[in-house]
Amino acid sequence: MTIFEKIIAREIPAKIIFEDDDVIAFHDVDPKAPAHVLVVPKRVIPRLAEAEDSDQLLLGKLILVAAKVARDLGMSESGYRLVINSGPDAGESVPHLHVHLLGKRSLGWPPG
């Protein structure tokens, strides 16, 4: 079980800010910005590189939930960044697809 599966199962506490039948969103415990939220599908997809055509609706929902959470946290006007890491060279540390929502500070480009 990944740490995200344990959070979904309520075996590990998290500061949850959104949840429905498909997706959960919670504050990152090691934030890289003043606002750093993880948007995670409840169904495990190990990484974006392993997503399939049948995951299309869920992948779209992750982005829409991230946008909703950004609005709820007051980041829509100033802006925010969504990041999906896929594989070890990208910085993936948990093999469970998730979207990082980062904001409430200026984010440089290019990243990394």
What are the pLDDT digits (tens) for 42-100? 999 999 999 999 999 999 999 999 999 999 999 999 999 999 999 888 989 899 999 99
State the DSSP code for 109. Answer: S
Domain 3-103 maps to which CATH number in 3.30.428.10, 2.40.160.20, 3.40.50.720, 3.40.720.10? 3.30.428.10
Read off the tokens for 68. Answer: 């909703």
- The owner of tokens 């590990």 is 12
Q: Which of 36, 96, 98, 100 is catalytic?
A: 98
Q: Is 98 a catalytic residue?
A: yes
**Taking the domains of the chain in order of start, what are their residue ranges?**
3-103
Rounded Cα distance, 78 and 46, in Å: 32
Q: Is residue 38 a contact partner of residue 50, using CB atoms and an 8 Å limit?
A: no
Q: Are 44 and 56 in contact (CB under 8 A)?
A: no
Query: pLDDT at position 105, please?
Result: 95
Q: pTM of the prediction?
A: 0.94
